[in-house]
Each structure stands twice: as C-alpha cells, then as structure tokens.
A and B are shown apart, each in its own frame.
Chain A
C-alpha cells in the first residue's frame, strides 16, 4: 500500500511536468478534471488493493485472469466518473450534448490509458507482495536457524553446567581414589561422547527420533553412573518410531526440566521414563519424572522458564498450531507430553 502511495506521488509529479500543467490556464479544467481525476485514482487504489488482497487465496491462474480483468474495470470506473464530472462542471448538458456520446467520444483513448495505469498499480502491488513474501521467508529461515543454535547452546550449557560437569569430574576422581579404574575410564569416555555428539549435532532442523534418543542416552548414562542406587531410567520407543522426524535437540530441555524441577527435588528413589509411540498420523512423546507436582495455577503460556518458552517457540515455528505440549500431574510425579504431526525421513 505504501508503495502505491509513493507511486501516485511520483506519477503526479511526472504527469505535472509532462503536461506542463502550470502553463494551462483553464482553471476549470485543472480543478474539475485534472485534480479531481487524480484524487479519483488515489481513492480507487484502496478498493483495488482490497480486491488484490482478496485474490491472494485463489489459485495463480485464476488470480491472473481476475487481476487482468480488474484493470479495465478500475480504468472504466475512473474514466466514467472523471468525464462525468467534467461534463457536469463544463456545463455540456446545457448545450445539449448527450452524456453517453460525450464519454464514448472522449473516452476511447482514455480507457486504454486508465486500464494500463490500473495494471501498473496492480503490478506494483504484486511486486511488493513478492518482496514481503521473500522477506518473511528469510525471516522464518533465520528464526529456525537461531532456534536450533539456541537449542545447541542450551544443550552445551547443560553439559557444561558446573553442577553437571564438576560433579561428573568429581565422580571420576572418586572412582580413581577407590581404584575403580574401569568405571572411571567408562565415565570419562561417556563424558567425551556426550560433548562430541552435541558438537556434531549439526545444522539439520529435524532429525530422526532414534538419533535424538541416542544423544539423550549419553547424557543419562552419566547421571546413571552417578546415581546408580537412586535413579532408574527407562526408554521405550516403539520400533516404528525410530525414523520419525523431530526437531533437533527438542528432548534436551524437557529432560533437563525433569531433573531440575523433579528428580533433583525428590527424596529417595527417582524414575525417568521416556516413551514414544505413533498414533495415526501423530507422534506422541512422553517424559515422566518423579518429583513435586506442577502447581495448581501453573499456566504453560505464562510460564517464564526459559526451557518451556524455548520448547513452545520451536514447536510453534516447526508446526504452527498443529502440536500440543502439556505438563500433567501423575501419581508421584509429572508427565510432559509432546504431540506433533507424524513425518518420516524418506
């Protein structure tokens, strides 16, 4: 729309120069025809833009035909209105010249001109639409990109989190002190595996569920060595879900929350359960942890936790509104349920 307004300003200035309007002395012509005509064009731009936007929903060919037709229509409307007003102000009706004949006589050249002007305006609309589309596309791509990087950063942060990393190092040194060298070596290599896997998690926005789980397992392996006597982890992925596509690193913030808000606050034996199954054309992933329940007045959309915010933002970016993400209380803990459209690597 802005583009159209700028166009009209330009059009006006060029036209004024071209026709050397300042030299015209007939003020009636200037006022009633020239400026009124221009004002008409200006006003017609709005309905034109309205119809142009409406046509966005129709298929391209139909839209093309529609826009092609709307050009002469807009042109005719303009010409008829402006010549009628000219006819009236000049006072031709007093001289017995029939309106219809006058318009036809004056009009034929002007019809073509007006139609072409309307088309130019439409083409202008189309170009700006293309530009906006292109800009949104690249914004979206940039958004996706930054979310993936964000997720990678969060994953790395979780692994480099002092509590995790220093405790893991402490475990290793305690294993060495108590001469459990094999376990110390296992744990050192698990730690490296985990960091390596995160660093290699790549630029893909979607990865197969089995790869996502593989990375999660590396993290859980370390927690399991640390809490062998209190932590129980079970992962049940039904075999048809192995190749299902999920947003890269989507599980990480969920599992991190399970530890942060659940297991780390739970006295005694803790459990973490990850399950995935297919239901029709949906993929459902559940993560259960023992621990305190979510608050009665908990509102996912208002939650300020960085983890939940990021998960929601990424799911929305990837699936628009076509997903669910919920936290519900269950027996002695909380289940996080993510449901997304089923898609598979071909």
Chain B
C-alpha cells in the first residue's frame, strides 16, 4: 500500500526532532519534508502536496492558521498547540483533530491512526471541508495588510494581504510607491500594505533603488532616463511607466548605473 506523504511544520527544533522520531516509527507514513517556519511551509506544501500535515499553530511571523489561509491546496491536518482556547473551541466545533503539548505517545498514535484511516477510506474530503469551514470562521484576527518582518534569507517579499500570506518574487516587483501611511507594490498585481518606503527599502535586494521621496524602482526594469530640467529626470520603466527621479536621488542613480556598466 502506498505510504501517506506527511509534512511537519514546527518552529522549535527539539519539537521537530521529536515529531520526526515519532513519525519514523509509523509504518504507513512517509515523511517528505520538515519545515521550520510558515514561509518554508507555504512553499513546501504547494510544491509537495502532502496528504497529511502536522502543524504547529503558534509560530513567529506566520502562524499555522496563516499557512492554511494562504495555500490553495489543503491536506488533512493535525494541529499541534500548547494552549489556545479560541482555536481549541474551533477544533471541537469542526471535529478536527489536535494534539495538546505535551502529548503522550498513545495520544499521538491515536491521532495518526484516525488520520490514516480517513485517508485510506477516502474520507479525507469531509475532513478537508471541515478545515475550510474552520478557516472561513477564523476571524481575520490578523487581517491588516503588512510586511512580515523578516531577516529570513529569501528571494521573495513576504507580505500579509487580507489575512493571506503572499510571496512576491523580488524580480517581479517593478516599482514601489508611497501612499500616505501605506505603500503600493506594483508587480503583476498591485498590493497595498501598511509600511514605509524607508523601512521596506531595508529588506529589498540591491537592484532596487530609491529615486524619489515617494518611489523605489527595480533597476532591472529601467529602460532609459530623460532629463526634464531642474536637475530632475524621468525614468522610463518597462510598459511605458514614467517615474520621476528627484535631484537628491539622481547622483546615487547615476553612480549605480555607471557601476553596472563597468561590470
């Protein structure tokens, strides 16, 4: 019989090690990935499409619920939590299985057996439907649009939009615009999030450059520059975008361009 592909998400190393240890003892389980934060989890779940997910709820930056809201594919999920009355109530209402930390081996095996039976008997659909209902009822506790503060090395920008986590490739961001207390990130879509150009600039790779007090551009999309007097210029980006370059940022732009040319 085909083994059930399983994925672990937990932010604490010792807890992950313990879960791996427990899963290796399960004959019907094939462990396909172990993720240490929400970001890894979102990418891995979309890519590996596990049948079963062991998911820690409380994690920094991106919680277990954030992960579920953000993935299009939903596996059978066993939640792991230390204590969260609100969540526990929701699990009970939707008859979803969860493990309370610390749990016994017996309790773990019981949860695994239940999950395996569901999947083996092709009943996972009702469990996944329950999961979807749970996600819908979870109020958007963290529905503010914001940048997920991250020093995590990645080639993507991690933002929260309407409760979902969006990963935007830096390469795909054309420019970023200040918008009162918000910023507009122009990529294939436009995202409005609560942040400042100054602070987002710190998490951008070096092919981004501030050219105006209200704009940052991706140099990879820069086609040409035209002077418009008063030492100011217009930067033409792909797709007929015209962005003003102000005097105070012009020198830095010129320096960067000549650097690139000499390379």
Contacts and interface: CB of A to CB of B under 8 A. Distances in A.
Nearest to B19: A174
B86 interface: no
Output the residue of A174, A178, A296 with the most chain B CB within 10 A. Answer: A174
A175 interface: yes
A267 B15 CA distance: 18
Interface stretch (A14-22, A94-102, A162-170, A276-284): A162-170
B61 A174 contact: no
Contacts of A226: 12, 14
A332 B153 CA distance: 14
Which of B17, B60, B181 gathers the greatest number of chain A CB atoms within 10 Å?
B60
Interface residues of B, number: 36
B151 A268 contact: yes
B95 interface: no
Given A177-B21, A265-B61, A172 B149 contact: no
- Contact residues on A (Cβ < 8 Å of other chain), bracket: 35 or more
B12 A167 contact: yes
Ranked nearest first, the 3 interchain pairs of A and B with the lowest CB-CB distance are A174-B18, A162-B83, A268-B152
A269 B152 CA distance: 7
7 contacts: A166-B83, A167-B12, A174-B102, A225-B14, A267-B61, A267-B158, A268-B151
Nearest to A183: B14
A266 B150 CA distance: 6
B83 A163 contact: yes
A270 interface: yes
B214 interface: no
Interface in B140-175: 146, 148-153, 158
Interface in B2-29: 11-15, 17-19, 21-22
A178 B14 CA distance: 9
Interface in A225-252: 225-230
A156 B240 CA distance: 61
Given A169-B102, A265-B149, 12 more contacts: A162-B82, A166-B82, A167-B12, A170-B15, A173-B103, A174-B15, A230-B11, A230-B36, A265-B61, A267-B37, A291-B149, A332-B202
Contacts of A180: 14
A113 B37 CA distance: 88
B190 to A, nearest CB: 23
Contacts of B15: 170-171, 174
Contacts of A269: 151-152
B213 interface: no
Contacts of A266: 60-61, 149-151
A166 B11 contact: no
A273 B186 CA distance: 37
A332 B18 contact: no
A290 B60 CA distance: 12
A332 B83 contact: no
Interface of A: 162-163, 166-167, 169-175, 177-178, 180, 183, 225-230, 263-270, 290-293, 296, 331-332
Interface of B: 11-15, 17-19, 21-22, 36-39, 58, 60-62, 82-83, 100-103, 105, 146, 148-153, 158, 181, 199, 202
A172 B12 CA distance: 12
Contacts of B39: 267
Nearest to A180: B14
Nearest to A297: B181
A265 B142 CA distance: 12
Contacts of A173: 18, 102-103
A226 B103 CA distance: 17
A33 B100 CA distance: 88
A292 B151 CA distance: 11
Nearest to B108: A177
Nearest to A264: B60
Contacts of A172: 102
Contact of B149 (A171, A225, A229, A292): A292
B151 A175 contact: no
A270 B60 contact: yes
B62 A267 contact: yes
Nearest to A270: B60
Contacts of A290: 149, 151
Given A170-B101, A172-B102, A226-B12, A332 B22 contact: no
Contacts of B60: 230, 263-267, 270
A163 B63 CA distance: 14
A293 B146 CA distance: 12
A20 B161 CA distance: 89
B82 to A, nearest CB: 4
A81 B22 CA distance: 100
B148 A267 contact: yes
Q: Which of B58, B82, B148, B150 has the most CB of A within 10 A?
A: B82
B83 A177 contact: no
Nearest to B142: A265
Given A163-B82, A170-B82, A267-B152, A177 B12 contact: no
A290 B61 CA distance: 12
A293 B200 CA distance: 12
A199 B181 CA distance: 46
